[in-house]
Chain A
């Protein structure tokens, strides 16, 4: 009887002791391990091909590393066996910039529209979801055939632009939804109360407050376009974009030049993201500095 009571009393005490030595629950360590495994699986393969792209002429598609040189990058630029890599790079970047600008502006407008209910908003919403989930190649074929029927040649800056927007816009709008749920209607009313016109309210209040969200939409738009494949395949016309170029390489090229292309494309996307994020941080720093000076 007394033993049982003592046992019961001891149990919580023991637990407290264990807690004191580490106040993290055991689930933390399991999940931390899981997370680490995920990150390794996420980055490991990519890093391995970046490494393999620096082999010399004897290099193959698998480890071990054979020599160290920029041979395969040279090969890429010389375009001995590959297609028009630098041209497709340029086109992809121009296209991504156009898609980004249009996506940001149109998503912002649509996001503003969806803040209030209007007649038919549900139809527009489901239209947008439809466009998001429709198989890319199906839309690509439809656009290609449609342009064909209308007698307009498909081109990366016309049909492919539209095809990519049919995918980046719903994405951008979904992000705007999440961003705008934090936009308080009082701010607009306060601006109006203080005499701001609708245009001034947007320029001086809404846009600055939403700036981080709009940057997120821009980065998404850029990446989705720069990497778009299925919708572009049948709509890019005679000249390839970069993913199409990489695709044709994967089917034809079995040398580390493919990896070199992967390295270059990654470096370029990081450069673009880095420059845009960097300039934003710089702008914010300057604003902060200006405030400190006037203080």
Chain B
């Protein structure tokens, strides 16, 4: 038996999503066509748009479907910066946090490198939380200079939940658009774009049990945004391209189900997470949990996230040994080359570089069970011992 504990990377598709996708995949129709087949495809997309809007507290016209979280983040950061700068050239400062996903982080750095942007990186405390006070200070000190604030709802590596409503209120008071990457939060935490007061919000389909390659950016009706893709002018001209009706419908179905089950699932996942964390800490291996962890809590930490640091180990050795033992997880710092560099998130928390090397992210989701957690705990002692031997000889 293999234990899959990498739901933050991608979670298995929900049955309702598979069925929706399978049913619609064989159907012909371009949602922009005017004939009957086109109208039918368009109706599928618009139904889905309404469902996604309702699920996240938005108006249907505020939902822009994209190819996923990365595209949504790029569209939000680059599009909002460009629009703001076009109307108010003095606004060139992008305020974001040091623990963002690379889709935001690298987009901001791209703007700095090529679009004369400046970046202000909000500090985080030792548990990964942004200080709303610092945002207030930056907005006051750099009045009329800030183009955009972008802070993730919950961290993809360590599961820390940010005080989004407080940050959004600060941005709103300063007249600055606020973006949040809610890829890890949607379907897991109560995510409501209107209640939170954010202007731009990123969600991804495959993190909630929908198909890969679909996502959305919620764009507040008063939020100015330059498109990233030009073409047929679909979706208010903000995101040209033929709409993936089957994928979008399956995404909406998965999101609906995730939200319907959300409260029960959060309690169940938090209990599994607590079993995993407390079990790992009790092994006597010197393992530490990253971020704030309180049994039963779902307000400060994602219920499905268990980020552990194993001293005197390399993440790649741990990952190999766990994989060989049938446990699938992540080091939380994978990059395309597979080179092992300390995670920028852990470094931002102030974790020392040698302490950041043996990091493991276990993430739970809708198919997780106690058996999965117990499988991890059963193999962890031997895995850690062996990884320590390997670290001892290869460093």
Q: A and B: partners?
A: no
Q: Which residues of A contact B (CB under 8 A)?
A: none
Q: Which residues of B contact A (CB under 8 A)?
A: none
